[in-house]
Amino acid sequence: MHTLILSITFSVLVSVFLKLARRCQVRIEQAIAMNYVTACVLCLWLLRPPLESLGQQTPTGWVVLSLLGVLLPAVFLIMATAVRRAGIVLSDTAQRLALIIPILAAFLVFHEALSGLKGLGILMALGALACLLRRPPLQAADTPDTQALSIEQTDDANQTGRRMWLPLLGVWAGYGTIDILFKQMARTGSGFTSTLLLSFILAGVLMGLWLLMRRTQWHARSLLSGILLGALNFSNIYFYIRAHQTYPDNPTLVFAAMNIGVIAIGTLVGAGLFHERLSRTNLAGIGLALAAIVLLFPR
């Protein structure tokens, strides 16, 4: 269970970093690029993947690392587009609703057995998601950051439906697919380390090329902050894969606990550190989330 708790903790810390980055004038895209460099270094230092066998991936391994290498930076860019066109609330909702994709995959792809308690746990998890995503009215006016987002959302309201919903669909499908790919990577056992390293390398190269094409002016503070982001993100992914390896026959637990746990803890952190308002519905969602994880936990 500790692997799941650690993964949730580091994921929440990544969210805290991204929230503070705007206030500290960190250029997120540059921090993301340095994040992959840091992740590669940590992967080599801590996991020590066998370098002589990096090119000896299985056909499935090549598919997984190629998709992850492309999707990790691509989904970040799609998310940025979604926030710009549809607003932060709809974009965050699309990301969290991606939980539906790996839960379906748990039964259709990974052949997990569905019991009565597990089915009830899934329903409670989705209910918790709905409660946690509901925000009190006027919360968007609580901080200068959210005021800017509110103005941006108003301007973007003039976008056509297609321009708004296409990136939202990309966010939903992208995050859901990434969850499934990490589960597939976990099934390779100890061989996941080399697959993970190659994924980070490919993601870093693609992100770097994108920045070079945009003729980016490099920002020292953003690059240095990317080292911290890389450490947090690497830890999040590493423990997430380990959690899947700890519960190989119960992917639903990991998918649901990770997504619901992150947003539940993130909601509490937002209230405690950033003075975000919580409604009774949000608090009920936290209770439902805990109950759902208990039901999904293997007996």
Q: How many CA atoms lie within 13 A of 175 on its CB side?
A: 22
DSSP assignment, residue 143?
Answer: S
Q: What is the number of residues in the chain?
A: 299
Which regions of the chain are under pLDDT 70? 83-84, 86-93, 135-164, 190, 274, 276, 298-299
Enclosing domain of residue 126: 2-296
pLDDT digits (tens, 9 = 90+) for 181-219: 988 888 877 678 888 899 999 999 999 999 999 888 888
- CA pseudo-torsion sign 69, 74, 75, 80: positive
**Residue 161: predicted pLDDT:** 57
Q: What is the pLDDT of residue 233?
A: 92
Of the candidates 141, 233, 243, the residue with the CA atom closest to the CA atom of residue 185: 243
Which residues 6+ apart lie within 8 Å of 60 measured at CB?
A: 184, 188
Q: Which pLDDT score, from 0 to 100, does residue 110 have?
A: 83
CB 145 within 8 A of CB 23: yes
Q: Across the chain, where does the E strand assignment appear?
A: none
C-alpha closest to that of 120 among 287, 294, 272: 294
25: its two tokens: 């004038």
Residues ≥6 apart with Cβ < 8 Å to 225: 17, 21, 24, 26, 31, 34
State the pLDDT at residue 279. 79
The two three-digit tokens of residue 160, written as one number: 């056509």
Number of domains in the chain: 1
Listed as own residue / partner, the contacts of 64-67 with beta carbons closer than 8 Å and 24 or more positions apart are: 64/181, 64/184, 64/185, 64/195, 64/199, 65/185, 65/195, 65/196, 65/198, 65/199, 65/202, 66/202, 67/177, 67/181
Full-model pTM: 0.79
